Structure 1
Amino acid sequence: MAKRRSFRSKYLRRMRWGIALLIVLAIPAMIHSKAAINSLLNLPSEWVPDSIPAKVDFNELSSRFDVGEILLFSWPGATLDSPELARVSAALQQISEEPETFDETLDVELTAETKKAIGELKAICGGEIPFHWARSGGDTLNQMTQAPLSLSVDASVARLKGFLVGPSGEQTCIISSLNPVGTVHRRQLMPALRDLIAGIADVDPATIAVVGGPREGADVDAASIRSVELFAPPSAILAAIICYICLRSVALTLAISVVAVIGEGLVLAIVYYSGMPMNAVLVALPPLVFVLTVSAGIHLSNYFLDAWQEFPDMSPARATRRALKAGIMPCFLASGTTVVGLGSLMLVRIEPIRLFGFAAAIGVIGTLALLLMVLPGAMILTKETKEKRDRRRAPPHPTEDEIPEDVPASAFSRWAYKTTRARLARPWPMIILFLVIGGVFSAGLFRLQTSVNLLRMFSPDSSIRTEYAWFEENVGPTSSADALLTFPPLTDDDNPLTRLAVVQNAHVSALKMDSVGGVLSAITFMRSVPTGRSIGASSRRAAMVKMLREPDGPLMKTNLIHRDSAAETWRISMRMWQKEDTNYSAELLEIEKAIEDSLDDAEVPVELTMTGHVAIVEEAQTILLDDLFRSFLTAFAVVAMVMMVLLRSVIGGLIAMIPNLFPTVALFGFMGLVGTPLDIGSVMTASVALGIAVDDTIHLLSRYGSRRARGIGQIRAAHGALAQCGWAMFQTTMVCGLSLMTYYFSDFVPTSQFSILMFGLLTAALFGDVFLAPSLMSSSLGRFLARTVGVDPEAELWSDEPSPEPIDARRIPARPTDSAQ
């Protein structure tokens, strides 16, 4: 009795310390997790190392031409001769690093309200200027029609169509380049810029179309934050409700739910402390920690409930001690294996993935420690209902093939018992079935496609899709790409007109491509080169040569030519159509080939580089997805090696990974077969599936190894392990899968798809661990799965006791013990 009180006091005292620690940790979990969410900023181009060739090219474009994130504005009535357009352009130039307008004769006076709004925009950026430059189609037209270019209005408008001027020849836009300061604050800038333009142009803010990379990023960031803030609370509440329905214990439910929620907050706080903004890769971090925490908590709780249900007269303290003795080692092994797998992610080159692995590993370790502090006390405080206490389990080791008649089991329980034993007695049909299913779905893995298309991220009636559709119909394409033609440094002996001819051929070749709607280059601002030998033609050619050589001339102000001691670079800026089924990688390759063909007859050495916003985002996302795949394979390989160590068998480790691989192969293979493209969130779900599958598999293996160590035959050991862990695995799937399904109702498509994928992966993992893993254990391969490191034959629950006469043929114990002989 004294020893019983001693355990009770020990567990309750530990729980009090755990509650105190949870209260302390709740402060950063709430405050700094909120700060991490608010810092959300998706910049895929910044995630990849500068050594990547595509990143090198984009950095050169940015440094040579001051090209940041391109942002375009237009609205009905924004025509070339619109005074409102001129006022908006003048206002934006007030918050640009290059404030001078191309039309130096334009004198636009800003109102006091406009100046106040400009001040508020600067305040959003901490008093700094958000734009590199800003100019309107009218500004550019004025530059082209004034001396020294002196092009006609009609010719100028024709050259600007598809780039700055719409098909009507009147509708135009404002183009701007957001600097790094503006990019960081883009989410707050977008509505403020819309209000500024609406106030100056006297139009409804909803009629203003804002397109470009910063708009896309701002909407993705805002939608991600909105999804987390709107659906995270109901998800946690639903998880607690389902957890209570499964465990029927307020104390256990509170302990697991509180630790899981605080664990989510703590990993977000780790992201905040790292200094890296939250992004699409790290969004999967809280669900991973939540799922693994709930899994560990439910498994431990079921060890306790099993012990207490089998021995209803046992005190809660003794039942808790028995549960911890049986369950603590599997929990350590499961968490340790998961941590090692997550830790392997820190070896990849993508910084967000490295942080993901580090924060997730810390989260798994921390939440397990918190569970071990508070759960034993919660077990002590659990009050069992009379009906549950009076219920008795069927004898775990029947001496006949049928359940004894005196066992108070339901018809379903008797059917499930017989069916499971019959299935485990003949395991190979089930194993072959899973291998066939896996083989069929694996064919889809080779058909998987990745997609970073913006239009697929939002519903068809969303404001961003509506604005993009209006802009492309009335102004021109919304995606930007650049071709850089690099020549040797220009010397006094070189003829600039020769280089101009090369650029003209490339310009025309790009404009002929169906995917390109408009092109802007130095050719846009130049008259045709006269070919005659008359004095007039010669003098015009001389004037053009002079204009091309002038370091501060009007052409250099267009930001389309850059010269330094190493090279001369001409920039060809293109606008590409954005459609839901657009494959930018293929289109860029076609454009590159067309331009290369035009350079075959070039009279001077020239090098072509394809870059720009579309190119860098496409390349960065492709590299990121490739690294995510590699990181998953790395984690899988590391977990496999850990399983080999745990089972003390190379073959056993490989066999044990088959159920862990099944959910990923099945779901992603299915996506490949039906043609559903992958995005970043989709790939990150694979890490969650691996974590939960490994968790359940190790609990099964531990219980299986414990039974085999006590001399129980393979079939009964596999059946007993499944009977003990199966309900906990089902509860974990229901709690985590259904609670995450609340995100399905998000209007942000990636978040909605993430919830569906998570539920599918968790369900597939459950099928693998309930049907495939026990079949492997009861087959001839089971002998490789029985020698689990750390199994304690004395850490028995009701189904751990050896049978005096094992009833299955595969009854030779893996490790004979005195109790088994």
Structure 2
Amino acid sequence: MHIGKRMIQFSLDRPRVVTAIMVLMTLVLGALIVRVHVDTDPENMLSKDEFVRVFHDRTKKEFNLYDVVVLGMVNEKDPDGVFNPDSLNKIYTLSKFAATLADPKNSQRRVVARDIIAPDNVDNIVQAGLGQVRFEWLMPQPPATREEARKIRDAALDNPLLRGTLVSEDGKAIAIYLPITQKDFAHKVRKELLKKIAAFDQGDDRFYITGLPVAEDTFGKEMFIQMAISAPLAMVMIFLLMFVFFRKLQLIVSPMIIAMCTVISTMGLLIGTGNTLHIMSSMIPIFIMPIAVVDSIHILSEFFDEYQNQKDRRRTIEHVMDHLFSPMLYTSLTSAAGFASLAFTPIPPVQAFGIFVAIGIMLAWLLTILFIPAYVMMMKEESLENFGVTEPVDPASDRSLINRHLRWIGRMASGKPWLVIGFNIAVMLVGVIGITMIQVNDNPVKWFKKTHDIRVADKVLNSHFAGTYEAYLVLSGKDRELSVADAASWLTTHLRPKLAGIPDVEGRALEQIARSAEEVQTAAELADRLSDLWEDELDRVAADDDAGYDAWSAALDSLDALRNRDQIFKRPDVLNYIAALQQYLVDQGNVGKSNSVTDVVKKVHKELFEGDPGHYTVPDTVNGVAQALISFQNSHKPDDLWHLVTPDYKRANIWIQLRSGDNKDMEKVLVDVEDYFKTNPPPLELEHNWAGLTYINVVWQDKMVTGMLKSFLSSFAVVFIMMTILFRSAAWGLLAMIPLTFTIGVIYGVIGLIGKDYDMPVAVLSSLTLGLAVDFAIHFLQRSRMTMARLHDWKKTVQEMFEEPARAITRNTIVISVGFTPLLFAPLVPYQTVGIFLASIMFYSGLATMWMLPALLTVLQGWIFRKELKNS
């Protein structure tokens, strides 16, 4: 006996055993769900040894950087904006409160109080006479008067390190940047801040909290809740639609039981094997449910149409399963292969998603062919007495809306096949145009609805400040160790223009360089020898010889520059290059602002010259730069310098603020930096790399899209091969791929035409497209072959195909398309996207199957059915 028949007979003979095994398996695997660990960190989309993650972690450690929660306060109504005593008192209170936030259960999860950027925790750098600067807290206490508040505003706006970051240019907004030790503490910080803010008399002040860590961590919390709400709601909607179609409450419970057992078992297996519940894996139930239900609907649909002919539940279910066993097996294998191909993407969570959806699909198939017959046998025969009875009883009646339209489609597709084919090709061409317009883009903040507090905060704060999205451009010098000859040559080249107007000093200095170079072994010894010689020369300069004094001083400055060549981020030419790069990026429009060691040097240098704006420059000498940096070390927070440069001055970090976290905007910044380095070579060879959450999102999204594309193409090929093997014909295999191809072309063409970003959920939905579109095609083609082999007449075959088989496909299309509409009301955009495109995929794949396949089979009937016609 065929293995399928043996399985079905076992189910029919021992229905309670089958049910008990299924329930026990569900309970055992479901019990593992309590071990769930939620992880919504997009950083974990990449493997731990991925270069960008390794470099990102190294950068955070090297520059003592943390992920940041941004709290902003905006006051549009007060004439002084937020710079009034009441508003600043609130911001002071919030800053002090935020500094205390820590997880009582885990001391490692906390706000890093020392590194908070807030008015009470940053220095105001002011001049204290020529050659001196003074550091004082910007706001040591909340101001008592408006005049004091305005002084705080003016001081902050005068500091380029704070302007656009701490204080908005218009004075209407102020921000606090809260560094946190772990990203998964961000939601807790936001929650505690909102509680504190709720206790205020807010008046005209409006408070906003945002930042990528907040978006990612909050999404994780809401995702978990949404999964528990949306999936059951979708199940309820599917249940109600099935009741409309089959009107037998007792019978339609069975597909719901299968879907529930499949989802629970699959999720239990996922969690029990040590996998975290990630953004991707949270969608597994939503992807499994339609596939788990479609086979059951095929069975119930044919059972519904056939039962009144047989009047015997066992004979009816045997008849139905005999027809559907092969198509259901084929569709399950191909759908599972499509999802399993995701295991070859470079994204670990996507790999787990693909593997466990594939497992869930095969589990759903197994439960369907075992449990549905068992469930039918456990029902009382008399309970099915009126099952399948319609009004009027004649199933051929055209009074049924579905029947009337299906028969019209069948007549149209077989009667005017070239018109149908031509129309679909025209639609496909429009889809191809749309596909060329697709832009790959994602932003975790946009995973929330536009009305969500985080999304609103993101919009408001980024309109006031230079940007709440952070990226770090890390520069490293690649200067090689100088030989004595190279050092002598460098000094000679460096000194000639400085000493050109004083020939006697120039001659003696160049001669001393040449003579000393012959007497020493290293560049360091050369510098030491010349330092002694030139200090003696300086001592011998006449008191009234200013030109000579300046010339020998310049020579000594050149020695300092030579000694500090490895401390490249003290070099004026390098710092000026960084400043020019920063200005260039701002001019391009995607960067709101950037901070670097250059900004620190320029600000301190200005205050050393009594606040003269003309001295907001990089000093001309290494010594001048060093003096500015030493002066900064006298501030309240000297370690802040090490966020921007390493203590050995060999690596520098440019902190870049962007107003948008969209991948396309970050990618534009990457291109701008590459262009600048190509067209403006640095004064020495500089290596540059990127870090920061905004950049990491670009990397994993790119890997996801390219990985999905590769896996989709490979799974497309695998499914074609499987179809060829299962149908034992390459031609039939190719026919099975046509509805899939057209569905993808049209759905993704619409994505491009409407300007919808190709983001994470859209990328994943390509796999679902493959699974469901092939499902309908296999059912239609397999049933067509079976019917043609029996009738040997294509016209009669088409008529029969547009009865029960077409009704089953239509019912599936309607049930799944409409059944997942509850997802459209989810507060999380990825769930809305899945709902919209799941419905679209189901609808169009069903439509493409019932329009295109009969038209193609009509045109090709003499060739494609030659075996069936030969046996007639």
Deviation per CA, 1:177-211: give whole Å up to 9, x if none: 333xx323433442024335767x88699943222
Partner of 2:496 in structure 1?
none
Question: In the TM superposition, what is the alpha-carbon distance from 1:418 to its structure 2 partner?
Answer: 7.2
With 347-356 and 522-531 compared, the bigger mean Cα shift is at: 522-531
Are the equivalent residues in 1 in contact too, given 2:343–2:351 (CA < 8 A)?
A: yes
Match for 1:165: what amino acid?
V
Partner of 1:136 in structure 2?
117
Partner of 2:357 in structure 1?
360
Among 496, 499, 502, the residue aligned to 2:577: 502
The count of corresponding residues between Structure 1 and Structure 2 is 737
Corresponding residue SS for 1:160: coil
Q: Tell whether 2:608 aligns with 1:528.
A: no
Partner of 2:785 in structure 1?
705
Deviation per CA, 1:727-781: give whole Å up to 9, x if none: 1111111221111011112233332232121111110011011111222233316
Among 593, 611, 627, the residue aligned to 1:544: 627
Partner of 1:41 in structure 2?
39
Partner of 1:661 in structure 2?
741
Are the equivalent residues in 1 in contact too, given 2:579–2:598 (CA < 8 A)?
A: yes
With 40-49 and 148-157 compared, the bigger mean Cα shift is at: 148-157
Q: 1:443 to 1:56 in 2, by over 3 A?
A: farther
Corresponding residue SS for 1:439: helix
Alignment of 1:261-660 (within 5 A): 261-312=260-311, 315-380=312-377, 381=379, 383-386=383-386, 388=388, 410=399, 417=407, 420-421=410-411, 423-453=413-443, 456-488=446-478, 492-494=563-565, 496-498=570-572, 499-526=574-601, 527-528=604-605, 541=624, 543-544=626-627, 547=630, 556-563=639-646, 568-578=650-660, 583-590=665-672, 592-594=674-676, 597=679, 599-600=680-681, 602-660=682-740
Question: In the TM superposition, what is the alpha-carbon distance from 1:328 to its structure 2 partner?
Answer: 1.6
RMSD (Å), alpha carbons: 4.0
Q: 1:244 to 1:442 in 2, by over 3 A?
A: same
Question: In the TM superposition, what is the alpha-carbon distance from 1:278 to its structure 2 partner?
Answer: 2.8
Question: In the TM superposition, what is the alpha-carbon distance from 1:447 to its structure 2 partner?
Answer: 0.9
Partner of 1:403 in structure 2?
none
Corresponding residue SS for 1:357: helix
Among 146, 159, 162, the residue aligned to 1:160: 162
Are the equivalent residues in 2 in contact too, given 1:525–1:555 (CA < 8 A)?
A: no
Question: Within 1, Cα distance between the matches of 2:32 and 2:20?
Answer: 19
Deviation per CA, 1:359-381: give whole Å up to 9, x if none: 01111111222222221133332
Partner of 2:527 in structure 1?
none
Question: In the TM superposition, what is the alpha-carbon distance from 1:648 to its structure 2 partner?
Answer: 1.9
Among 122, 125, 150, the residue aligned to 2:134: 150
Question: In the TM superposition, what is the alpha-carbon distance from 1:439 to its structure 2 partner?
Answer: 2.1
Partner of 2:797 in structure 1?
717
Corresponding residue SS for 1:442: helix
Please identify the structure whose Cα radius of gyration is greater: 2
Question: Within 2, Cα distance between the matches of 1:497 and 1:195?
Answer: 48
Q: 1:171 to 1:376 in 2, by over 3 A?
A: closer
Q: 1:176 to 1:7 in 2, by over 3 A?
A: closer
Question: In the TM superposition, what is the alpha-carbon distance from 1:594 to its structure 2 partner?
Answer: 4.4
Structure 1 spans left out of the alignment, 5+ residues: 1-5, 95-117, 396-406, 787-809
Deviation per CA, 1:404-453: give whole Å up to 9, x if none: xxx77659758865762464255333223222221221221111112324
Structure 2 spans left out of the alignment, 5+ residues: 1-5, 76-81, 137-154, 482-561
Match for 1:528: what amino acid?
H
TM-score, with normalisation over the residues of structure 2? 0.75
Partner of 1:208 in structure 2?
207
Among 749, 759, 764, the residue aligned to 2:839: 759
Q: 1:760 to 1:146 in 2, by over 3 A?
A: same
Are the equivalent residues in 2 in contact too, given 1:310–1:392 (CA < 8 A)?
A: no
Q: 1:142 to 1:84 in 2, by over 3 A?
A: farther
Deviation per CA, 1:589-637: give whole Å up to 9, x if none: 235534665x53x433222334433222123223222322332222222
Question: In the TM superposition, what is the alpha-carbon distance from 1:257 to its structure 2 partner?
Answer: 0.9
Corresponding residue SS for 2:169: coil
Corresponding residue SS for 1:583: helix
TM-score, with normalisation over the residues of structure 1? 0.79
Question: Within 1, Cα distance between the matches of 2:157 and 2:372?
Answer: 78
Match for 1:506: what amino acid?
L
Are the equivalent residues in 2 in contact too, given 1:26–1:262 (CA < 8 A)?
A: yes
Question: Within 2, Cα distance between the matches of 1:80 and 1:523?
Answer: 32
Corresponding residue SS for 2:571: helix
With 408-417 and 685-694 compared, the bigger mean Cα shift is at: 408-417
Q: 1:423 to 1:235 in 2, by over 3 A?
A: closer
With 126-135 and 201-210 compared, the bigger mean Cα shift is at: 201-210
Match for 1:570: what amino acid?
A
Q: Tell whether 2:200 aligns with 1:123.
A: no
Question: Within 2, Cα distance between the matches of 1:74 and 1:549?
Answer: 28
Deviation per CA, 1:552-590: give whole Å up to 9, x if none: 99655433345489x821111122223999733224423
Question: Within 2, Cα distance between the matches of 1:458 and 1:35?
Answer: 27
Are the equivalent residues in 2 in contact too, given 1:209–1:467 (CA < 8 A)?
A: yes
Q: 1:35 to 1:210 in 2, by over 3 A?
A: farther
Corresponding residue SS for 2:605: coil
Question: Within 1, Cα distance between the matches of 2:274 and 2:750?
Answer: 38
Q: 1:593 to 1:538 in 2, by over 3 A?
A: closer
Question: Within 2, Cα distance between the matches of 1:579 and 1:9?
Answer: 58
Match for 1:269: what amino acid?
G
Q: 1:776 to 1:132 in 2, by over 3 A?
A: farther
Match for 1:452: what amino acid?
D
Q: 1:359 to 1:481 in 2, by over 3 A?
A: same
Partner of 1:74 in structure 2?
72
Corresponding residue SS for 1:461: coil
Corresponding residue SS for 2:134: coil
Are the equivalent residues in 1 in contact too, given 2:477–2:684 (CA < 8 A)?
A: yes
